[in-house]
């Protein structure tokens, strides 16, 4: 999930794959004719994608920057005494055109990019960073904000206004407002370098991933693979104009191969390629970028008086400080490790009973654990996929939103799209007959789209001059594509991903806030995954599945026996999976909690920070750091632990649904009222306690994982 507020756009810009070799055409129209800065006379003021051309972006961004600077300058020159309205609200609304243009640009650069867009991202990065620094380090502007903040207890403010004021003031502090002289100049330089290096990191990551293909010409090498994976590989080969079958590092292609292919050597090859992305000593190598980003972040934090970047970042997280994060990770690791070791022993012994010799290697793990799972629970994707046709899953999830929150999704074919794959939906609150949002759903992989799945927005919800501006939400996935033989049939994991990202969408759709900076998903990073992860709990509820999960050929409802098998397998390897997530949290903290400049071998540094969460034999050259986009270019630095943190929240929260009923309106109305509609109006713990009545504990998660009875 990514959050594209104006500040995030400026500070955490990312890049995407390069696909086109054409040079951009020169901009010849006057700026007032540029569709990006014109008023959008479209349904719900949606972006006019049919009119927007690549050459429009840079002039529009440059123009919007100048407009934003003038708006900020007007605040600074205001002769009136600083007030919440003429300073904090004015600052919140300044740069609205820039935010709108960047919202379109960065979302398209992620979901439907080109080499031209990538070049523009690199060109505008220094401009945006300079604008951010000029704003945050302007002493006159900060003086106005500080005066309002210092008098906050004497001003009648709502809780949301108080949160906005706190966020504004602390944002200035965290971005160098108190720095002087050389330190201020150094901070400026660091922030520009960080922005450009993060762009380079992501570009290298995606380019290296995209460069690899496993081409299979001998049909015998397909042994063990399910037919859907073979058919998809055939389609990929046709697209690439290659004879045979082609497997890539994109998840819908990579996961089936590493899980089912009988050919151990080929599994090793594709696993090695996947785990050496951007660590191959070529032009896409990220090792220097990893060290540079870690050290620049450290220096930035130290300039601001923090001992580490993690200490700096965690000041606006529920976890609050690095010690609390490490304690959280260690406690869960201690609870998970005995079960993870049992999982490893169980899979190893099973593989050996089937003739496997030696120590289980990493490219063997998925293969043998899947065989054991199939034997233990008699379940595999070939059995479940026919019941999860994409269109039926989508309709079922829409029905779930209706059951819980009274929402109706209506397809609107008149909204302009950025790609033919995209489908757009109006969302209506049926009881109030109120338009809530427009959602762009973009499901399938393509070369112009980065991997993964995410939710973001072209426009956030807010109230301006008494008018409730509803959000324009984007949900992007990379699901199994339809083939010549079958429609898009989702794996259970893909179905789960749909539920997860849709939960983020609901957080945006149901927002009832006043300010963009507090609306929707503008919440603490370790709280933002609660609305998404709680949705995954419905995945195996038969009462929900019966609403949509029917065989795409026969129409038969998913059998209870199959659902029971899915449920029975939910705790399978729970220990291993928990340790894996905690491993990633340790890698994150290893880079972002350093207190002195770091140098040397990136692989050695990663091993040192994460070794206590290693289970399988270490493979030289296979590291996470060079491709860990979440923490080096995606906004989750010193925050990856948040996925496990939110698991604690969602397990505890869903237990109330289980107690009262999975469609219970009292509970769902409370979750909407106290969590989904509130955005960042209040501190997350206050919101959570208003819903649940108490602070969460690890117990519900440990119980769900099977670690306690």
Determine the longest span between alpha carbons in the chain, in angstroms: 82
- The Cβ of residue 204 has, within 10 Å, a number of other Cβ atoms equal to 22
Distances (CA, A) of 36 to 56, 117, 342, 439, 589: 7, 15, 57, 20, 40
Answer whether 102's CB lies under 8 Å from 7's CB: no
- Measured between alpha carbons, how far is 61 from 36 in angstroms, rounded to an integer? 9
Distances (CA, A) of 525 to 312, 451, 504, 651: 14, 21, 13, 18
Q: Which spans in 354-457 are helix H? A: 362-377, 381-384, 390-405
Which DSSP letter does residue 482 get?
A: P
Q: Which helix (H) or strand (E) is 215 found in, with range?
A: strand 214-216
Residues whose CB is less than 8 angstroms from the CB of residue 367 and which lie 6 or more positions away in sequence, other chains included: 258, 259, 260, 261, 264, 267
The burial of 512, by beta-carbon neighbours within 10 Å (0-12 exposed, 13-18 middle, 19 or more buried), is given as middle
Residues whose CB is less than 8 angstroms from the CB of residue 631 and which lie 6 or more positions away in sequence, other chains included: 587, 588, 591, 592, 637, 638, 639, 640
Which DSSP letter does residue 675 get?
A: I
Q: Which helix (H) or strand (E) is 136 found in, with range?
A: helix 115-136
- Measured between alpha carbons, how far is 98 from 44 in angstroms, rounded to an integer? 19
Residues whose CB is less than 8 angstroms from the CB of residue 119 and which lie 6 or more positions away in sequence, other chains included: 24
Helix, coil or strand: residue 453: coil
Pick the catalytic residue: 110, 370, 501, 516? 501
- Measured between alpha carbons, how far is 629 from 286 in angstroms, rounded to an integer? 11
Which DSSP letter does residue 156 get?
A: -
- Measured between alpha carbons, how far is 163 from 165 in angstroms, rounded to an integer? 5
Tokens 């199994």 appear where?
480
- Measured between alpha carbons, how far is 47 from 655 in angstroms, rounded to an integer? 41
The burial of 57, by beta-carbon neighbours within 10 Å (0-12 exposed, 13-18 middle, 19 or more buried), is given as buried
Residues whose CB is less than 8 angstroms from the CB of residue 555 and which lie 6 or more positions away in sequence, other chains included: none
Active site includes 147?
A: no
- Measured between alpha carbons, how far is 516 from 95 in angstroms, rounded to an integer? 12
Answer whether 517's CB lies under 8 Å from 5's CB: yes
Q: Which residues are catalytic?
A: 501
């Amino acid at each position: 999930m990514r959050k594209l507020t104006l500040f995030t756009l400026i500070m955490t810009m990312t890049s995407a794959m390069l696909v086109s070799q054409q040079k951009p055409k020169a901009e010849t129209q006057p700026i007032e004719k540029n569709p990006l800065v014109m008023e959008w006379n479209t349904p719900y003021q949606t972006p006019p994608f049919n009119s927007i051309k690549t050459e429009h972006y840079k002039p529009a961004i440059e123009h919007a920057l100048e407009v934003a600077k003038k708006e900020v300058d007007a605040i600074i020159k205001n002769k009136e005494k600083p007030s919440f309205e003429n300073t904090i609200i004015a600052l919140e609304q300044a740069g609205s055109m820039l935010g709108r243009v960047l919202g379109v640009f960065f979302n398209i650069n992620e979901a439907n990019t080109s080499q031209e867009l990538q070049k523009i991202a690199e060109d505008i990065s220094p401009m945006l960073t300079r604008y951010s620094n000029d704003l945050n380090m302007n002493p006159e502007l900060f003086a106005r904000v500080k005066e309002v903040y210092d008098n906050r207890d004497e001003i009648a403010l709502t809780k949301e206004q108080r949160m906005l004021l706190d966020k504004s003031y602390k944002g200035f502090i965290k971005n160098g407002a108190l720095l002087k002289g050389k330190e201020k100049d150094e901070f400026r330089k660091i922030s520009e370098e960080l922005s450009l290096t993060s762009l380079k990191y992501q570009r290298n990551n995606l380019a290296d991933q995209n460069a690899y293909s496993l081409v299979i010409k001998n049909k015998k090498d397909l042994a063990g693979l399910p037919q859907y994976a073979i058919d998809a590989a055939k389609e990929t080969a046709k697209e690439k104009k290659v004879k045979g079958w082609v497997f890539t590092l994109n998840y819908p292609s990579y996961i089936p191969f590493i899980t089912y292919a009988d050919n151990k050597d080929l599994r090793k090859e594709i696993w090695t390629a996947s785990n050496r992305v951007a660590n191959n000593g070529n032009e896409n190598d990220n090792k220097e970028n990893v060290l540079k980003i870690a050290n620049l972040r450290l220096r930035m934090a130290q300039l601001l008086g923090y001992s580490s970047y993690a200490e700096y970042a965690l000041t606006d997280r529920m976890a609050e400080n690095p010690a609390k994060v490490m304690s959280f990770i260690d406690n869960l690791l201690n609870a998970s490790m005995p079960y993870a070791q049992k999982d490893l022993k169980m899979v190893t012994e099973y593989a050996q009973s089937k003739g496997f010799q030696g120590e289980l290697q990493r490219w063997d793990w998925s293969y043998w654990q899947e065989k054991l799972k199939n034997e233990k629970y008699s379940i595999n994707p070939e059995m479940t996929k026919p019941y999860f046709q994409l269109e039926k899953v989508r309709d079922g999830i829409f029905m779930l939103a209706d059951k819980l929150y009274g929402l109706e999704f209506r397809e609107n074919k008149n909204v302009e799209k950025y790609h033919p794959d995209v489908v757009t939906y109006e969302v209506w609150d049926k009881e109030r007959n109120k338009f809530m949002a427009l959602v762009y759903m973009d499901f399938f992989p393509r070369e112009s789209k980065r991997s993964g799945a995410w939710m973001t927005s072209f426009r956030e919800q807010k109230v301006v001059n008494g008018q409730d501006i509803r959000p324009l939400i984007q949900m992007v996935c990379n699901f199994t594509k339809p083939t010549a033989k079958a429609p898009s049939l989702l794996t259970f994991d893909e179905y789960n991903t749909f539920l997860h990202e849709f939960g983020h969408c609901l957080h945006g759709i149901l927002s009832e806030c006043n300010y963009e900076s507090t609306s929707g998903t503008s919440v603490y990073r370790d709280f933002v995954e609660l609305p998404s992860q709680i949705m995954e709990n419905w995945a195996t509820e038969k009462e929900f599945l019966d609403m949509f999960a029917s065989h795409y050929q026969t129409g038969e409802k998913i059998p209870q026996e199959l659902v029971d098998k899915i449920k029975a397998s939910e705790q399978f390897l729970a220990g291993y999976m928990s340790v894996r997530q905690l491993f990633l949290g340790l890698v994150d903290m290893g880079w972002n909690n350093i207190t002195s400049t770091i140098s040397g071998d990136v692989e050695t540094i990663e091993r040192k920070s994460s070794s206590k969460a290693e289970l399988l034999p270490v493979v030289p050259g296979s590291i996470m750091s060079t491709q860990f986009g979440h923490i080096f270019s995606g906004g989750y630095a010193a925050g990856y632990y948040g996925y496990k943190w939110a698991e604690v929240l969602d397990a505890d929260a869903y237990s109330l649904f289980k107690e009262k009923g999975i469609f219970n309106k009292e509970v769902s109305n409370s979750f909407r009222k106290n969590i989904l509609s509130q955005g960042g109006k209040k501190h997350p713990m206050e919101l959570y306690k208003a819903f649940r009545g108490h602070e969460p504990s690890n117990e519900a998660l440990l119980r769900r994982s099977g670690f306690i009875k």
